[in-house]
């Protein structure tokens, strides 16, 4: 046997090899974690919250060239052009979308349409009971006009789909494949999970499962998750929202950042808190 191949030398070589593989594994793991933390977030802002972010010089600066999705409405002023934003028109029912497209009343700058179907007075009952069919109808109609389609079925639709079910709302949403049905024909899908954001573990598990269902139905869909400064009237702070984002960065492409104020669309909402959203954006910008 050659002298360099003594057993003690083999042992040393083996130890070096193991150390090298371990170091490489740690390096790859660290790089993946770093990449996850700095993965670009796609945002969606709407309503008074969008107007407040646009009007705040510091917050506006965080969105330069970030291409956020924004909703167009009479209540929203000019969106800073350096955002390179993608304007969407938001609707709560298929017939309203159909009417706007047929009558030519859609905002001229709209590049896409949001179908925000929920278990509320603004979405027709027949659409609440058959969201999958109406999401396909909407997708076909929107795409025929050369527009992007963002599907955002609310978790509370399960009240119309399976009122007798004894499982939790979130479990039923997953069991029924609501996210998959929404994503199948959409360009973007939003998982309206913000009602559970205070429980970070629950929120992360639900979002991960719903996002996986969405991508299985449509590997090309962009997946957003809902976060909110006042989810269904719950009191939250920037730390709550940042924990929810940190726990789901690997699961989704971005977030619909709801910054609600009391209205017919959110009767349980409390004070308007754009300051919380601005703090979240500020702290994310330093990561």
Quick check: 15 pLDDT over 70?
no
The owner of tokens 């304007």 is 87
Q: For residues 111 and 159, is the Cβ–Cβ distance under 8 A?
A: no
Quick check: 114 pLDDT over 70?
yes
What's the pLDDT at 265? 76
Reported as a pLDDT band with limits 50, 70 and 90, residue 12 is: very low
Q: Which residue has the higher pLDDT, 257 or 261?
A: 257
Cα(158)–Cα(146) distance, integer angstroms: 31
Instruction: State the average pLDDT for the chain.
Output: 86
Quick check: 86 pLDDT over 50?
yes
Task: Tell me the domain boundaries of the chain.
Answer: 1-38, 39-285
Q: Within a 10 A sphere around the Cβ of 266, how many other Cβ atoms? A: 18
In this structure, what token pair is assigned to residue 266? 């959110």
What's the pLDDT at 162? 86
In this structure, what token pair is assigned to residue 249? 């960065």
Q: Which residue has the higher pLDDT, 223 or 261?
A: 223
Cα(266)–Cα(190) distance, integer angstroms: 18
- With a pLDDT cut of 90, the percent of the chain lying above it is 72
Looking at 20-29, 138-147, 257-266, which range is the least confident one? Answer: 20-29
In this structure, what token pair is assigned to residue 150? 């963002």
Tell me what the mean pLDDT of segment 62-87 comes to.
88
What's the pLDDT at 27? 43
The predicted-structure confidence for 143-187, as pLDDT tens digits, reads as follows 999 999 999 999 999 999 987 766 789 999 999 999 999 999 999
Residue (of 54, 43, 36, 92) closest to 248 by Cα position: 36
The predicted-structure confidence for 94-104, as pLDDT tens digits, reads as follows 999 999 999 99
The predicted-structure confidence for 191-200, as pLDDT tens digits, reads as follows 999 999 999 9
What's the pLDDT at 38? 59
Q: For residues 168 and 132, is the Cβ–Cβ distance under 8 A?
A: no
Instruction: Return the CATH fold of 39-285.
Output: TIM Barrel (3.20.20)
Reported as a pLDDT band with limits 50, 70 and 90, residue 72 is: confident
In this structure, what token pair is assigned to residue 53? 């972010």
Distances (CA, A) of 182 to 37, 73, 77, 163: 28, 24, 30, 20
| Backbone phi, psi, residue 112, to 5° | -160, 170
What's the pLDDT at 77? 62
């Amino acid at each position: 046997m050659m002298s360099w191949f003594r057993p003690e030398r083999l042992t040393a070589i083996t130890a070096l090899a193991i150390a090298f593989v371990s170091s490489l594994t740690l390096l790859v793991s660290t790089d993946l974690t770093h990449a996850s933390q700095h993965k670009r977030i796609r945002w969606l802002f709407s309503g008074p919250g969008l107007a407040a972010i646009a009007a705040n010089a510091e917050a506006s600066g965080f969105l330069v060239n970030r291409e956020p999705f924004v909703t167009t409405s009479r209540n929203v002023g000019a969106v800073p052009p350096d955002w390179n934003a993608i304007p969407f028109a938001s609707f709560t029912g298929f017939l309203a979308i159909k009417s706007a497209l047929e009558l030519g009343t859609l905002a001229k700058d709209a590049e896409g349409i949001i179908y925000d179907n929920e278990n509320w007075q603004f979405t027709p009952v027949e659409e609440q009971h058959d969201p999958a069919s109406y999401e396909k109808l909407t997708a076909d109609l929107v795409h025929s006009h050369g527009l992007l389609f963002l599907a955002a079925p609310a978790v509370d639709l399960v009240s119309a789909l399976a009122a007798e079910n004894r499982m939790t709302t979130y479990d039923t949403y997953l069991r029924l494949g609501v996210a998959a049905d929404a994503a199948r024909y959409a360009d973007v899908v939003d998982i309206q999970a913000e009602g559970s954001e205070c429980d970070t573990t629950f929120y992360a598990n639900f979002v991960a499962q719903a996002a996986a269902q969405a991508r299985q139905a449509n590997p090309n869909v962009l997946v957003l998750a809902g976060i909110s400064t006042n989810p269904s009237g719950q009191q939250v702070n920037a730390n709550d929202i940042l924990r929810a984002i940190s726990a789901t960065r690997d699961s989704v492409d971005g977030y619909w950042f709801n910054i609600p104020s009391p209205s017919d669309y959110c009767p349980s909402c409390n004070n308007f808190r754009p300051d919380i959203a601005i703090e979240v954006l500020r702290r994310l910008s330093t990561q």
